[in-house]
Structure 1
Amino acid sequence: MASVFPNPFPPYHTKAYPAIDPARPELSSKGKSVLITGGGAGIGASIAHAFAKSGAAIIGIVGRRLAVLDATKAAIQADHPGVQVEAITGDITSASSITSAVKLFASKTPSGKIDVLVANAAYLGDNNVIEAADADEYWSSYEINVKGAFNLIRAFGPVSADKGAVVLEISSGAIHLPPLKGISAYQSSKLAVVPLWDHFVKDREAQGIRVVHIQPGSLGTDMGNKAKAQSGATFPLDDIDLPGAFAVWAASDEAAFLNYRFVWANWDVDGLKASKDELSKDPFKFTIGLLGWTNPAE
């Protein structure tokens, strides 16, 4: 399918497809513990359903609204009766709240550790230019997106799996676009989150943790619809199953070569896998950096 966005690995996918089907044996999450922030609805719920389909042993969904979490938990367990789902309230802007939530989930896993963390919770503030914005509302984007990532990193570190933990940072394609009117707080705060996770993974290289930054697609979620309305952008919507299936693939061994990389859920994974050798020679490709630079080591 053609795309309105540049696509290095065609075709451009708008819905899940066989290569990222969570039921593929190669993508199995059997025995894994998976924690998803913002897991009650939208992208987070899609990812939770996909990991359940891939056979995860236990899935934690964290959010502020228990009723929403409980509804998603019931839906997942109805479709996948053998999967244990824990609905846990937590607020990533509060260090004590998110630390308690992460510790509680870890205490319920077989190993006391977490294998996969999906950092999905985020905030899109009200539309306004910087000069006219309410300062408190503007900085809410940084409180939730940036401080939230900081709090989550500090909560996750002590209970991350001893070897081979995976972080999936659910980001936004907005940070790859020119300035979009009225959403500077969202664009800039989401951009700031990327190096926080990169530094966390770099600090724990000996532990083998890896991170993949994911643009989940253009989706008809509450936040997605708000972003389209505020920015005035016009582009087709993707299926909500796409980010879920892609996340399962990104956490699998097939995607292990994508550490530190930023990829779009719309890109074809067979094309991505075919680029493995090329990416191994270029540590800057599909990362956040300065356009036009080449590898200084070459």
Structure 2
Amino acid sequence: MANDEEPPFPTPILPYHRAEYPAINPTRPELSSKGKNVLVTGGGIGVGADIATAFARSGAAHIGLVGRRANHLEANKAAIEAAYPGVKVTALTADLADGDSTTAAVQRFAAATPGGKIDVLVANAGHQSALAPFDSVARDDFWTSFEVNNRGTFDLLRAFGPLAAPGAVVLNVSTGMVQRQYMPGSPSYHASKAAAIVLFNYWAFEHPEVRVVHFHPGIFPTEMGNKTTEALGFEMPQDNPNLPGGFAVWAASPEAAFLGELPPRFVWAHWDVDVLKSKAAEIKADPNLFAFNLTVAGSPSG
């Protein structure tokens, strides 16, 4: 599919992009991350690695890569440092299901930065259990999704809060699945990612000085993406890996400040950012516009 063809899903924002385009090119001066310290969980491979690379392209001073597998972290660290020699990269082995491990990784990264503060936190690490119907999914595998996607979120945000720099941004790399009522074989991933949005929102209301944005990164042949494809039995439309990276850099920039209005907004990396900016006043005025604010429908209390 070309970058701006009709989308495969209903969408409120067009054009619908499948790859990086000029407005989200990380090298745009308006999107510069110069001097910033960026921490990316799940930063060794897949979407997290692509996002980390995009922040390097935008001139970040120091990038922390958090993940369970040291070999992937070290490989991405070497690749980024070779391509962008002015960027410092730190590999931090940690398991988000282990609160002490998560806290230690966040603190080690902050301690290695000038001033000991973090400007951008990209919460990308996640777990998807083997896809199976509700009644047959393995119990331990099911709950591992909640251990990583929810307990991990809790521990990550608790560790990050005291170390957030003035004007810090948190990007929750979520999934468009949370906007569907049902996805075959995905009870744990679907439910835990939806619950994670509530956790990020609670934290955002108690930390209004930090901008929080949720976004769907796209569909890619990652370990988790392949599980979905196998379960559905057909190929999902694939996006270019540079899409979520460019979008993340844009979402952390001043141009996206309007998405930081409480409650935090949920957007898709596919959506054209110039169109989003043109609707900034509407988005700020109506949290429920285009389902940018995910809530249980029908509540009279807002």
Q: Which interval holds the TM-score relative to the shorter structure?
A: over 0.9
Which residue number corresponds to residue 159 of structure 2?
A: 155
Q: Find 1:198's aligned residue among 193, 201, 204.
A: 201
Contact 2:46 2:222 in 1 (8 A): yes
Q: Find 2:187's aligned residue among 180, 184, 187.
A: 184
Residue type at the aligned position of 1:195: V
Residue 254 (1) aligns with residue 255 (2): yes
Contact 1:49 1:76 in 2 (8 A): yes
Please show how residues 56-135 of structure 1 align to structure 2 within 5 Å: 56-135=60-139
Which residue number corresponds to residue 295 of structure 2?
A: 289
1:98 and 1:45 map into 2 onto residues whose CA distance is: 18
Please show how residues 49-60 of structure 1 align to structure 2 within 5 Å: 49-60=53-64
Residue type at the aligned position of 1:289: T
Q: TM-score, normalised by structure 1?
A: 0.95
1:231 Cα offset (Å): 3.1
Which residue number corresponds to residue 48 of structure 2?
A: 44
Q: Find 2:33's aligned residue among 25, 29, 33.
A: 29
Which residue number corresponds to residue 166 of structure 1?
A: 169
Deviations 1:20-74 (A, max 9, x none): 0000000000110000000000000000000000000100000011111000001
Contact 1:124 1:227 in 2 (8 A): no
Report the RMSD for the aligned CA atoms in angstroms.
1.4
Residue 34 of structure 1 aligns to a residue whose secondary structure is strand
Deviations 1:142-198 (A, max 9, x none): 11111110111111111111x211000000011112311111111011000001111
1:104 Cα offset (Å): 0.2
Contact 2:171 2:214 in 1 (8 A): yes
Please show how residues 6-17 of structure 1 align to structure 2 within 5 Å: 6-17=10-21
1:112 Cα offset (Å): 0.2
Residue 19 (1) aligns with residue 23 (2): yes
Residue type at the aligned position of 1:210: R
2:226 and 2:99 map into 1 onto residues whose CA distance is: 29
1:155 and 1:293 map into 2 onto residues whose CA distance is: 32
1:241 Cα offset (Å): 0.6
Residue type at the aligned position of 2:128: L
* Structure 1 stretches of 4+ moved >2 Å: 231-235, 290-296
**Alpha-carbon distance change, 51 to 58 in structure 1, aligned in 2, over 3 angstroms:** same
**Alpha-carbon distance change, 3 to 294 in structure 1, aligned in 2, over 3 angstroms:** farther
1:134 Cα offset (Å): 1.9
1:290 and 1:232 map into 2 onto residues whose CA distance is: 30
2:236 and 2:130 map into 1 onto residues whose CA distance is: 21
Contact 2:68 2:94 in 1 (8 A): yes
Residue 118 of structure 1 aligns to a residue whose secondary structure is strand
Deviations 1:109-140 (A, max 9, x none): 11201000000000110121121222111111
1:10 and 1:234 map into 2 onto residues whose CA distance is: 23
Residue type at the aligned position of 1:287: N
Contact 1:166 1:211 in 2 (8 A): yes
Residue type at the aligned position of 2:227: K
1:172 and 1:133 map into 2 onto residues whose CA distance is: 20
Residue type at the aligned position of 1:174: M
